[in-house]
């Protein structure tokens, strides 16, 4: 009988690989089809995995095989601050999916900086800044001025997708890399941001509807203006520390004030016609206002509540209504799709997820003969045949 060859890996590196991928011992062991005690023995160095077992761990933890043979764990980015949790809950525990998205976003930023350095281009600096003491309505107007968004321009974005794309482009033009996460569940995180003076980034959740993603863009922008990095959840009040709660409320208020400026909102004919006082608002009016500002219906009702034009009970009732309608719509879509394979447009999908600024940096390096098509394919995570379509999306052809 052939003796199974053991992999002489570094135990501390295996432990690092599992933890940095966001896996608890029990979950990782289950996915690897081994007992938790066996996995712990590999991490302790009292036993070693076989080569096939190492390959499975390499795939699960998204690390090259060679990494496991390093003498020490690599120095990687520190876990992001978790604005969703109380500090006494300990270090943030993110799902493997969220952990991977954070890691991928850091890798994309590092790639952008390296490629810009190779071409001698100066990486853009992010100049917008604020403090928690700022008046949110004034700050919202200042953000609109900096991003060059007028009321007429915003009103011309007549659907949620157009609104999301327009706000995203203007934030990217301000020196921010904007990515979209594809594997994180909506109830775990709406987005996250990483602040740096040069090329900060934000990531919004692609599983959210466009109106919610637009709100997340401005929420994460507020975090960057505060010079803070972290993971946000727009819907988790009460589980945060007092400090985190204040920050998250501030960022929500800034997003609302930017998307729905006080004076413009109160002077809307549909709003002004109701007069002062708390009212019941029809679904038709709420929907029309949401359409005008490119936001969700819940954001409109929340703004009405902020200005004393709706009751808290009315807001809670509408919020529950919209949440139920959203779940019903998801269920209907799932039933309609069934087991059908939905065709994917990889060029469109890649541009949406990676963002135009980073793709332009990569393609510019390719057109300057600094990398091969295979390199471009690897950086963008698509097959070579899709690259011409991506170039067309960005106007290269």
pLDDT tens digits, one per residue of 176-224: 999 999 999 988 899 999 999 999 999 999 999 999 999 999 999 999 9
SS3 324: helix
Residues 289/300, Cβ–Cβ less than 8 Å? yes
Burial (CB count <10 Å: 0-12, 13-18, 19+), residue 39: buried
List pLDDT tens digits, range 90-147: 555 788 999 899 999 999 999 999 999 988 888 889 999 999 999 999 999 999 999 9
Strands (DSSP E) contained in 82-210 are 177-181, 191-194, 201-205
Find the largest Cα–Cα distance for the chain.
87
- Could you list the beta-strand ranges (E) of 56-209: 177-181, 191-194, 201-205
Interaxial angle between packed helices 25-32 and 51-61, expressed in degrees from 0 to 180 and rounded to the nearest 10: 120
3-state secondary structure of 353: helix
Q: What is the pTM of this model?
A: 0.85
Q: Put residue 205 in one of left, alpha, beta given phi > 0 → left and psi -120 to 50 → alpha.
A: beta
Tens of pLDDT, residue by residue over 213-251, are 999 999 999 999 999 998 887 665 555 678 888 999 999
Q: What angle do CA 88, 84, 80 make, to 5 degrees?
A: 85
Helix pair 312-337, 297-306: axis angle to 10 deg: 170
């Amino acid at each position: 009988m052939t003796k199974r060859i053991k992999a002489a890996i570094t135990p501390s590196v295996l432990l690092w690989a599992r933890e940095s991928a966001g896996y608890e011992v029990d979950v990782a062991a289950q996915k690897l089809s081994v007992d938790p005690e066996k996995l712990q023995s590999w991490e302790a160095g009292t036993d070693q995995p076989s080569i096939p077992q190492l390959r499975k761990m390499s795939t699960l933890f998204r690390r090259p095989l060679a990494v496991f043979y390093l003498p020490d764990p690599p120095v990687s980015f520190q876990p992001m601050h978790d604005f969703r949790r109380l500090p006494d809950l300990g270090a943030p525990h993110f799902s493997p999916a969220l952990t991977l998205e954070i890691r991928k976003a850091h890798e994309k930023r590092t790639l952008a900086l390296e490629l810009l350095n190779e071409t001698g281009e100066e990486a853009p600096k992010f100049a917008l800044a604020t403090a928690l003491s700022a008046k949110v309505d004034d700050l919202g107007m200042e953000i609109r001025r900096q991003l060059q968004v007028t009321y007429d321009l915003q009103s011309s974005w007549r659907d949620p997708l157009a609104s999301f794309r327009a706000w995203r482009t203007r934030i990217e033009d301000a020196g921010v890399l904007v990515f979209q996460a594809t594997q994180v569940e909506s109830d775990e995180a709406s987005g996250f941001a990483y602040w740096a003076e040069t090329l900060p980034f934000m990531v919004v959740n692609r599983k959210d509807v466009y109106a919610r993603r637009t709100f997340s863009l401005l929420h994460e922008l507020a975090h960057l203006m505060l010079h803070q990095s972290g993971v946000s959840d727009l819907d988790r009040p009460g589980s945060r520390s007092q400090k985190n709660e204040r920050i998250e409320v501030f960022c929500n208020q800034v997003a609302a004030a930017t998307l729905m400026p006080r004076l413009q909102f109160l002077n809307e004919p549909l709003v002004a016609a109701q007069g002062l006082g708390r009212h019941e608002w029809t679904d038709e009016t709420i929907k029309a206002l949401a359409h005008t500002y490119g936001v969700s219906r819940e954001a409109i009702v929340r703004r009405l509540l902020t200005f004393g034009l709706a009751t808290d009970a009315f807001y809670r009732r509408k919020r529950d209504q919209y949440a139920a309608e959203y779940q019903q719509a998801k269920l209907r879509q799932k039933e309609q799709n069934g087991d059908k394979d939905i065709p994917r447009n990889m060029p469109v999908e890649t541009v949406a997820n990676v963002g135009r600024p980073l793709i332009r940096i990569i393609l510019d390096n390719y057109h300057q003969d600094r990398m091969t098509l295979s390199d471009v394919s690897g950086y963008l995570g698509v097959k070579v045949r899709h690259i011409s379509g991506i170039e067309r999306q960005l106007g290269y052809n």
